[in-house]
Amino acid sequence: MLSAQLSCHFRATTERKPPSLASMRQHALSTLNWDDAKSTLLATPSQAASQAEYGGSIPLIRSLPMTRRNSWSSALFGSCPAPWSLRLHPLRAYNVPRRARRREQQVSPARQFGTIRRLPSGRYQARYWHLGEQVSAGTTFATKTDARAWLSSVETDLRRGDHVDPRAGSERFGDYARRWLDERDLRPRTRETYESQLAWILNIFESVRLREIDAASVRSWYGRMHKAGRSSNTVAKVYRLFRTIMSTAVDDGLLRSNPVSIKGAAAEEHHPRPVPTFEYVARLADMIEPRFSALVWLAATSGLRYSELTALCRSHIDLNGSTVRVERALAFERGVGAAFGPPKTPAAHRSVVIPAGTIDILGEHLDEYVASNPHALVFTSVKGSPLLYRYFAPYWTRAEAAAGVREDVHFHDLRHLASTNAASSGASVRELMARMGHATSDASLRYLEASARRDAEIAAAMEARIAIRVTSGSNASSPTTRAGASGGGVRCERASAICGAASRSGSRPITATATPSLPPN
């Protein structure tokens, strides 16, 4: 025990001469238990006295009540009286080196994240280290508390993995949007459309930094677009482009969230388009320039887009297999003119089966207007150049006037007619997507519109099923009917009457053999 060792040492040296203060300090330091010293420096006086009585560490003297200069010697040496006065300072812990005490006094509380400094203007600047470089807040703070709160939020974001560099959103929207457009692989026509739509956004936000675009400014811009007299669908298209660009900025880590988030602003209003009938198609094909008659029939029966029709060459048409293969599309490219490129979507690469009547018309067109070269274009202008729509539009307008067709019927409405006719013939949504070259089902469902003609067909089919069931029941209940019903005369007679009514109503004929019967009860 420390007290016993010191007591024996002092008894042995008392008879010779009193020990010096330096020797006492050296002996105390050699026998010091540093762990006990650290734990007992904060002990209460009662605990200190108790530990000293049982041989505790010398630092206990620091917390003992001192009334006389040598009163601590009895606690240190037990009951052995000190024959001399040590003359030590009562409040100094001699067992702890001064250098260690100095280090201990310099230990600060837990280190805080980031640094804050006061600027000559009186405001405060907050900075922190991230990825080996010092990052400053994008603004200064009026108080030190605000600066500390900002650093705390940054520290929380770093721990969650949601950190966004405040310097990242400093790029101007105009520069970022133009770079976004240049990095996209777009068809020439699509690029021109995006450029024209982007001009409406750059009028307001071209010089605005990305991080400064907020929801309030976006709502103000959206309201101005409507007041400028633009149609609701045009505003929706421009809004979707704006939202897409800002979503990319969020993915790039430049923004925390997308401020372009007006509910319902991206939805377009789908106005019903007039659907021409095949009687209209026949009149248009007769009145239009003869070299374009096959183009009208093929558009109305195949559902191909105008750009796909005008890009067909002789090798894309198989008269024996009654198919047309779509591999490219024709478009006008600014500064280039007519240019061939990929179809509108990857799903547009397809092979479409053509009705036999249209194949006959197409065969006659190939013999009369198309060269024998496999790469020769099927449809060209009068001068033999690629048939851009600007060259075809005047012929279409004159044919509409001559045929007495409504002027609001567009050439693209022939695609609508082909799609609706395919759906009325029983094509499923998946089959319709494959035939029309749609990438999503939404585009195909847009063409599935109920019509009075199709409604009459459904009613006729229902009546045929009911008639078959009633006829089957009467045959089972009457022996006379069973004996004289060879070949099902009553059933065929009823079905023929229904088919005649359906034919008079203008719907396609329905035969009794093609109509399945209902299961028995």
- CA–CA separation, 367 and 360 (whole Å): 11
Q: Which of 415, 416, 435, 494 is catalytic?
A: 415
- CA–CA separation, 512 and 499 (whole Å): 8
- CA–CA separation, 58 and 48 (whole Å): 10
Beta carbons within 8 Å of 67's beta carbon, 6+ residues apart: none
- CA–CA separation, 319 and 357 (whole Å): 11
> What is the β-pairing status of strands 115-118 and 317-318?
unpaired
Nearest C-alpha neighbor of 459 from the set 425, 423, 426, 501: 501
Beta carbons within 8 Å of 165's beta carbon, 6+ residues apart: 130, 135, 253
Concatenating the DSSP letter of every residue in 136-203 gives: E-SS-BSSHHHHHHHHHHHHHHHHHT----TTGGGSBHHHHHHHHHHTS---HHHHHHHHHHHHHHHH
Q: Which of 305, 316, 350, 435 is catalytic?
A: 305
54 part of the active site:
no
Q: Which of 435, 438, 491, 494 is catalytic?
A: 438
Q: Enter the DSSP assignment of 436.
A: H
Residue 281's H or E segment, with its range, is: helix 278-287
Residue type, 81: P
Nearest C-alpha neighbor of 338 from the set 296, 294, 392: 392
- CA–CA separation, 63 and 93 (whole Å): 9
415 part of the active site:
yes
Q: State the residue for tokens 């003609």.
A: 453
350 part of the active site:
no
> What is the β-pairing status of strands 317-318 and 133-136?
unpaired
412 part of the active site:
yes
Nearest C-alpha neighbor of 225 from the set 241, 201, 258: 201
Q: Is the Cβ–Cβ distance between 204 and 214 less than 8 Å?
A: no
Provide the CA 149 distance to its chain's centre, in angstroms.
31
447 part of the active site:
yes
Long-range contact set of residues 70-79: C-beta below 8 Å, sequence gap at least 24: 75/49, 76/3, 76/6, 76/52, 77/3, 77/6, 77/7, 77/10, 78/3, 78/4, 78/7
Q: Which of 98, 226, 412, 465 is catalytic?
A: 412
* Helices 452-477 + 489-504 axis angle, to 10: 170
Concatenating the DSSP letter of every residue in 222-273 gives: HHHHHHTT--HHHHHHHHHHHHHHHHHHHHTTS-SS-S---TTTTPPP-PPP
Residue type, 295: L
- CA–CA separation, 471 and 491 (whole Å): 6
**Which are the catalytic amino acids?**
305, 412, 415, 438, 447
